[in-house]
Amino acid sequence: MSTNPEADGIESRVIEFLENAIASTNESEKVSFLNKAQELVIHNDILDNFLDEILGFQNDKFSEVRKFVAGFIEATCRKDPDFFPKIIVNLSLMLADEVPNVLKRVIQALTQLYKIFLPWIATAKVNEEAESTGFVWNQIKNQVFSLIDLTENDGVRTQCVKFIEMVIICQTRADNFSKETDFSLDQIVNVDKKLIDIDALEDEAKQLFEQLINFQS
């Protein structure tokens, strides 16, 4: 706890919500408690204090709770991309979830986070943590690429296609059809090849585009 009474009060409420979520045997009630905890944690910049406790729910028996965790990870990295090294393994493990609706939510989170990850890794300090994070992201990409052929669920397959489309956009140079809000390779300059190989990313995007055309035809 801090020496600030207001901050102490907020943290106490978060602890109460998390304890209630742990004790609850009702799926929607448990998610409600977790959403309340997330709102306080993110808006009051106390993610570091409760990150592990909330991530612990990723193995919950309720699928809606696991979907919440995927959304929480997305919200966390949107708030502060420096959390990528701390949470990326969690998302990677969640790709093994056997419930299609959970898997779809995980891939949705990955799709939105990839355009945040690339600018982050492009400006990250070269160290073991950054290299490890980049390695896990490459594993995740390959997992999703494989899922498009392995899954029998149309919804999961659709999310895989959307993820691949995002990867192609992010790993391609801007052209006349690019949106101003799109991230592109042009925005990466003077990056260490230990973290990003721009030529390799561009080649991968071209190969993925061809594979996507073949898949959709």
pLDDT score of 101: 98
Greatest C-alpha distance within the chain: 62
| pLDDT band, residue 173 (cuts 50/70/90) | confident
Q: Which pLDDT score, from 0 to 100, does residue 1 have?
A: 45
Sequence spans of domains, the chain: 103-216
Phi, psi of 152 (to 5 degrees): -105, 0
**Both structure tokens of 39:** 């709102």
Q: What is the CATH number of domain 103-216?
A: 1.25.10.10
Q: Measured at the alpha carbon of residue 155, what is the angle toward residues 152 and 148, in degrees to the nearest 5?
A: 55
Q: What is the pLDDT of residue 181?
A: 66
Burial 107-116 (b: 16+ CB within 10 A, else e): bbbbbbbbbb
The predicted-structure confidence for 141-169, as pLDDT tens digits, reads as follows: 999 999 998 999 999 999 999 999 999 99
pLDDT digits (tens, 9 = 90+) for 75-90: 999 999 999 999 999 9
Extract the tokens encoding 96: 């093994």
User: How many other C-beta atoms are found inside a 10 Å radius of the C-beta of residue 100?
Assistant: 17
Q: Kindly state the DSSP code that residue 171 receives in the 8-state scheme.
A: T
Judged by phi (left if over 0) then psi (alpha if -120 to 50, else beta), residue 127 lies in beta
